Amino acid sequence: MKSFSKTLLYSFPGTALLTISGAVNAAVTESENEDKAAQRYNIVYIMTDDHTMQMMSCYDKRHIETPNLDRIANDGVRFVNSFVANSISGPSRACMLTGKHSHANGFISNEKSMFDGSQQTMPKLLQAAGYQTAIIGKWHLISTPTGFDYWEILPGQGDYYNPRFITMDNKTVVRKGYITNVITDMSIDWLENKREKGKPFCLFVHHKAAHRNWLPELKYLSLYEDKTFELPENFYDDYEGRTAASQQQMHILEDMDIVYDNKMYRPETKTPLTAVYKAFIGRLDPEDLKAYEAFYQPIIDDFYSKNLQGKELAEWKYQRYMRDYAKVIKSLDDNVGRLLDYLEEQGMLDNTLVVYTSDQGFYMGEHGWFDKRFMYEESMSTPLVMHLPKGLKARGVIDQLVQNIDYAPTFLELAGVPVPEDMHGVSLLPLLKGRKPSNWRKSLYYHFYEFPAEHMVKRHYGVRTERYKLIHFYNDIDQWELYDLKNDPYEMHNLYGKPGYEQITEDLHRELTRLQEQYKDPIESQLKKN
């Protein structure tokens, strides 16, 4: 086992690895003895796509209620400083599987990458240690899954209605129904009928929800239609002092497709994504398609009769977006409840770690946006709640800085499997045991590569500490941004170069360079040479 005394936990702004006291080493020995005495825990890892903290009521009660997701948090722990290393789907998944940042695992963007399935991954290591491993749902890594005893995955992004799946014998099959229900059905079926009972397992339940374009389950079409969602206070951000933020293509008013995203289809309306939208809803059975169209037609007629422009159009699109997103989350929450109920009925919860998270956060109108990608809080952060099995004593809020590269070492240590030294992440197990390590990391590294590409967010990297964030946008731009998250939580005021922040800026630059050297991604020093 990779002992706690060897995990890479650093202080800020110093550059040396903190030493660990004899008292902590004694605690490590006690921890190892506890692990040996315990049964091998099962792991159920539930990951959604683009689900954000703002739309999960244990984090934010303004918009919707998510009782089953909250059930996990209420019964276990809720991480309030949980982040990703690269806020885009495929790269985020690769970070989770490998415990490494994107440059090290090779999958840096959805546009130009293919996951190298021959490399070391956490599922392979669990599998080699006797765990049964399975993944059902969204893969989105282009390659064929490796390290899994069983898999059935969605092609690409997948379909909300009557979804297609790729099977282990490379056949494509259609599963009737709504995708969130189908993935849950298949996951429960694997637990009940396809695994070897009595052996420990790690099941990855990877939902499509809540990915764009937020097509609801038909029984929830009318849900939230009478609700007016609160407008973010920075919805009309003018991006002053933030060049990269002003040059994106993810603005609700300008870039959200009125047909594909807002469902305002009529034959004479042509947008770049109209054909894709028609193909998506065309997967519905004929009677279901009639019901779908009957629901939207009055909304379509009313919308085009008003000829909305400017702020009125922006706020109308925002409300449609929020309602559809909330409907998709309702089905997701239902199905998390179904899976929890199954585990409870089978007497498995006491010996199973249940993790719920998303591959990244998402903008729900903040800065006037939808989508993700930026290092700003709404997309770098991600929900993370866990039901803890017996033996793990933590409960309530965990506020240490954690990142999705930490999941792999956590699962391995929980399973009693040695954690490879080349993993960048650190095990969260001490936190799950209720400890508050004095030498826990004080900063996180982030790097986004996917440019030029959809939504045109500039390439950037940066460091986030408990209070400050330093970002460098590079490639076809050279802009630095500095935020004081305590006094400016919405990241509206770029302090880089402002009087009075010289020492903070110097310290953050030093910490950024240290992290790049630690993870062997020395891009800042390379840029300086060029």
Identify whether 56 is part of a domain: yes
At residue 459, the pLDDT reads 97
| Stated pTM of the model | 0.92
Identify whether 291 is part of a domain: no
189 contacts: CB under 8 Å, gap ≥ 6: none
Identify whether 239 is part of a domain: no
Residue where one domain finishes, among candidates 435, 467, 489 = 435
CB atoms under 10 Å from CB of 23, counted, come to 8
Cα–Cα distances (Å) from 74 to 45, 66, 299, 357, in that order, read: 17, 12, 38, 15
462 and 353, same domain (yes or no): no
370 and 511, same domain (yes or no): no
Q: For residue range 453-512, what is the model confidence (pLDDT) as tens digits?
A: 999 999 999 999 999 999 999 999 999 999 999 999 999 999 999 999 999 999 999 999
How far apart, in whole angstroms, are the C-alpha atoms of residue 141 and residue 156? 8
Half-sphere exposure of 75 (CA within 13 A, CB side): 20
Provide the number of structural domains found in the chain: 2
Identify whether 325 is part of a domain: no
Identify whether 289 is part of a domain: no
Burial of 304-335, coded b for 16+ CB within 10 Å and e otherwise, reads: eeeeeeeeebbbbbbbbbbbbbbbbbbbbbbb
Structural domain including 116 reads: 41-213+330-435
Contact 216, 324 (CB under 8 A): yes
How far apart, in whole angstroms, are the C-alpha atoms of residue 431 and residue 269? 53
Contact 204, 127 (CB under 8 A): no
How far apart, in whole angstroms, are the C-alpha atoms of residue 325 and residue 214? 5
Q: What tens-digit pLDDT sequence spans the chain (530 residues)?
A: 333 333 334 343 333 332 223 333 333 444 444 444 347 999 999 999 999 999 999 999 999 999 999 999 999 999 999 999 999 999 999 999 999 999 999 999 998 778 999 999 999 999 999 999 999 999 999 999 999 999 999 999 999 999 999 999 999 999 999 999 999 999 999 999 999 999 999 999 999 999 999 999 999 999 999 999 999 999 999 999 999 999 999 999 999 999 999 999 999 999 999 999 999 999 999 999 999 999 999 999 999 999 999 999 999 999 999 999 999 999 999 999 999 999 999 999 999 999 999 999 999 999 999 999 999 999 999 999 999 999 999 999 999 999 999 999 999 999 999 999 999 999 999 999 999 999 999 999 999 999 999 999 999 999 999 999 999 999 999 999 999 999 999 999 999 999 999 999 999 999 999 999 999 998 876 676 54
166 contacts: CB under 8 Å, gap ≥ 6: 152, 153, 154, 155, 172
What DSSP character marks residue 253? Answer: H
Contact 393, 434 (CB under 8 A): yes
53 and 126, same domain (yes or no): yes
